[in-house]
Amino acid sequence: MQGKKHYQEKLFTNFQLSDRVPADNIYRRLKEVLDLQFLYSATSKYYGKDGQKSIDPVVFFKLLLVGYLENQPSDRRIINIASMRLDILFFIGYDIDEELPWHSTLSRTRQLYDEEIFTQLFKQVLKQCIDKGMLTGKRQAIDSVFVKANASLDSIKEKSIMQDAAFFADELKQAQSEEENGINEDADRTNGAKPKKRSNANRSSTTDPDSRMSVKPGKVMKLNYLSQISVDTSSYVITSIGAFHADKKDSQYLDDVLEKIETNLKDYGLAVEEVIADANYSSSSALESLISRGITGYIPNAGTYKQERKGFTYDAGNDRYVCGQGNTLKFIGYKKHHGVSKLYMSKRSDCKNCPIRENCIGKSSYKMLTNSLNSPLFDEMHKRIRGEYGKEMMTIRKSTVEPVIGTLVEYLGMQKIRTIGIKLANKCMIMAGIAHNLRKLIKHQGDGLWWALLSLSEPLKAGEFYYS
């Protein structure tokens, strides 16, 4: 006989969340694994003894984790999702008839807590991974990714001249000249004059001044932050993650990244021995930093390393270069740009009638070569990378840190920062790193379960959860 279900809400019901959340559910597993009791003592300094009770710090951080695990880090969306999900309510310790915190409470609490609290939680989860034998810490792969800031290019305005009179002295003179002549930037465009090029030096966002204009090759320019990430190659566990300004090169941040890695690992008796990164991290200061820390680096030299010396032989005895036509390039002085380099230049008369002049110097009248004072370091790195072990390291880098970054961006809420300022951006990135490491920890502990193979072998998508 055909059945027909009639629904009528009950006034009273006998119901327990714990009975409705399967044993292999990710949030039940996290509830068993994650111990956040230390947060009560760590955050006690932010509260007084009087007044209305705030959100429980454990509940706060669990809700943030939900946002990243569900790929919905918006505070409003976090509360909406939690209100409709039995497993999330069970995870945060709320019953179905309890009112959840306001979404604005999450925003205020995120601003209240210092970065130190977020870092402590990151280290706590990292320690659990270490205790389970998931990583050795010996080899780290480092890479970076642009993360869109919570601001648009429409918010870009010219920086106030009065903020830094020394730096903007030229702009001041130009502005005074334009005022005297009764013209402005818009008038320049109409009169056919070339407008001033937009750059981070003379413009910033009024919405988020810490964000920076940056662009990937072939992509549209955006206001971004730069996330620097290090991954243990033995386990895909993130050992450091943080926000940096997006208008500098990766090589300028390598020392800061190494400091973070060592700080996160040294308390557990782990030491970094090898670091793998791409050519964007190659510079004199970066190589010196590796040596000073006793770390062996595998970082390809920048493209200019080989191009500058092709067809030229260095004469160490006379400190000069000799080209294939027998002409010399003598040492003429030093140049300081991302480290100190020596300059070598040919005579104009030697290049004037050279048969390969066009291919060598083009429209220039002389040949100029630069040679870093740390050239032996680059030579050693070049030799190391070309070896069989070095080639293997490059393959390992691509297969570890790059997939982790892809997962963070596509599935763990790091496509865009929804806060303002680099301090809050850093907290958001740390939480994304914690969510990633917790997933790795859960997978490690549940390798025998079909749930682990199903839900964690593929990135957890927004709104997905699994039942047996």
Q: Which domains does the chain have, with CATH numbers?
A: 17-113 (no CATH), 135-150+219-302+380-430 (3.30.420), 160-201 (no CATH), 304-373 (no CATH)
What pLDDT score does 307 carry? 52
- Residue whose C-alpha is closest to residue 211's, from 443, 418, 448: 418
What order of strands is seen across the sheet that includes strand 368-372? 312-315, 320-323, 328-336, 340-346, 368-372
Q: How far apart are the C-alpha atoms of 367 and 361, rounded to whole Å? A: 6
Beta-bridge partner residues of 333: 343
Q: 417 near 428, Cβ under 8 Å?
A: yes
Q: Please name the amino acid found at residue 443.
A: K
Beta-bridge partner residues of 145: 227
Q: 339 near 378, Cβ under 8 Å?
A: no
H or E element, residue 115:
helix 115-131
What pLDDT score does 169 carry? 53
Q: 149 near 225, Cβ under 8 Å?
A: yes
Contacts 24+ apart (CB under 8 A), 155-162: 155/205, 155/206, 155/207, 155/208, 155/223, 156/198, 156/203, 156/204, 156/205, 156/206, 156/213, 156/223, 157/203, 157/204, 157/205, 157/206, 158/202, 158/203, 159/202, 159/203, 159/204
What pLDDT score does 454 carry? 42
H or E element, residue 284:
helix 284-292
What pLDDT score does 428 carry? 96
What pLDDT score does 381 carry? 92
Q: How far apart are the C-alpha atoms of 236 and 61, rounded to whole Å? A: 23
Q: 352 near 360, Cβ under 8 Å?
A: no
- Residue whose C-alpha is closest to residue 70's, from 452, 435, 441, 443: 435
What pLDDT score does 160 carry? 62
- Residue whose C-alpha is closest to residue 39's, from 65, 55, 61, 66: 61
What pLDDT score does 350 carry? 87
Q: Exposed, middle or buried: residue 339 (CB in 10 Å: 0-12, 13-18, 19+)?
A: middle
> Cα–chain-centroid distance for residue 213?
15
Distances (CA, A) of 185 to 170, 176, 181, 440: 15, 13, 12, 53
Tokens at residue 375, please?
A: 């050239």
Cβ partners under 8 Å of residue 6, min gap 6: none
Compute φ and ψ for 255, nearest 5 degrees. Answer: -60, -40
Beta strand extents in 44-196 (DSSP E only): 139-148, 156-158
What pLDDT score does 173 carry? 57
Compute φ and ψ for 212, nearest 5 degrees. Answer: -135, 145
* C-alpha R_g of the chain: 28
- Residue whose C-alpha is closest to residue 57's, from 38, 32, 76: 38
For the CA atoms of 245, 247, 251, 254, the dihedral, rounded to the nearest 10 degrees, stands at 0
What pLDDT score does 163 carry? 55
Q: How far apart are the C-alpha atoms of 358 and 325, rounded to whole Å? A: 14
What pLDDT score does 242 carry? 96
Q: 424 near 73, Cβ under 8 Å?
A: no
Tokens at residue 358, please?
A: 């066009």
Letter string b/e over residues 47-58, b meaning 16 or more CB atoms within 10 A of that residue's CB = eeeeeeeeebbb
Neighbours of 344 (CB within 10 A): 22
Q: 101 near 80, Cβ under 8 Å?
A: no
Q: Please name the amino acid found at residue 345.
A: M
Q: How far apart are the C-alpha atoms of 354 and 364, rounded to whole Å? A: 13
DSSP state of 419: S
Q: Which residues of the chain have pLDDT under 70?
A: 12, 160-198, 304-308, 337-339, 447-468
What pLDDT score does 77 carry? 95
What pLDDT score does 43 carry? 94
Q: Please identify which residue in the block is written with the tokens 């920086």.
A: 159
Q: Please name the amino acid found at residue 185.
A: E
Tokens at residue 88, please?
A: 């999330």
Q: 21 near 27, Cβ under 8 Å?
A: yes
